[in-house]
Amino acid sequence: NAGVTQTPKFRILKIGQSMTLQCTQDMNHNYMYWYRQDPGMGLKLIYYSVGAGITDKGEVPNGYNVSRSTTEDFPLRLELAAPSQTSVYFCASSYSSVYYEQYFGPGTRLTVT
Amino acid sequence: GENVEQHPSTLSVQEGDSAVIKCTYSDSASNYFPWYKQELGKRPQLIIDIRSNVGEKKDQRIAVTLNKTAKHFSLHITETQPEDSAVYFCAARDSGGSNYKLTFGKGTLLTVNP
């Protein structure tokens, strides 16, 4: 199993541009999450999904959108990028509400200038 | 929602010494408390976790203790080694309808000096 994979690893965006961060897991996990990690800070939840077709906002959803058309994929869309979205983005997954452990992807380092 | 406070934010120890990181949480119904280790430029990885029906759990040189009454839990690392140097995050599982979400502390940068 590859686990949780993310693409791209690095990206530089100009203000106002848009992009999609890709996340895929091959563990048949039902729950998937997007976090952002700013320097010296913990992980803040952006969006999460409890299954295909079901998504909900986390702590910091403004400026982002998600979709979950399959169990495996959970892309994060940034519209009209702003410097405040410069961060490291981690995707994570967990099997169920009983088996809680969250497995993280390698992250995407995004810079908006 | 849940609130998790983590202390200290930085910790420096000599190789072979013990290190202790403490976290407090606000939701008395939280029942799962994981600890993640994140090396520089890498992803967070689970190193140990504890559920609310247990007071202590050990795995070789690391242990976690939970005090439900005081709503705090701690990570203990004994015989520290340079490879233990990393950022450590605690987290608490939200209760009720949001019980698939974790709330994370802000992290502790542990430096183990040879």
Please, what sign has the CA dihedral across residues A9, A15, A20, A25? positive
- Cβ-Cβ contacts under 8 Å between A and B: the total is 47
Among chain A residues, the shortest Cα distance to B44 is held by: A104
Interface test with A, best of B9, B21, B38, B43 (most A CBs within 10 A): B43
Tracing tokens 């209760």 back to the chain, one arrives at B95
Q: How far is A77 from chain B (nearest CA, A)?
A: 21
Task: Tell me if residue A77 falls in helix, strand or coil.
Answer: strand
Asked if the Cβ–Cβ distance from B93 to A48 is below 8 Å, we say: no
Confirm or reject contact between B99 and chain A (CB < 8 A).
yes
Tens of pLDDT, residues B46-85: 999 999 888 999 999 999 999 999 999 999 999 999 999 9
Q: How far apart are CA A93 and CA A100, in angstroms?
A: 9
> Is the pLDDT higher at A95 or at A90?
A90
Percent residues over pLDDT 70 in chain A: 97
> Which pLDDT score, from 0 to 100, does residue A100 have?
77
A chain contacts of residue B6, beta-carbon cutoff 8 Å:
42
DSSP classification of residue B61: T
- Per residue in A39-64, pLDDT tens? 878 899 999 999 999 999 999 999 99
Query: Are the CB atoms for A53 and A67 separated by under 8 Å?
Result: no
Show residues of chain B in contact with A31, CB under 8 Å. Answer: 100
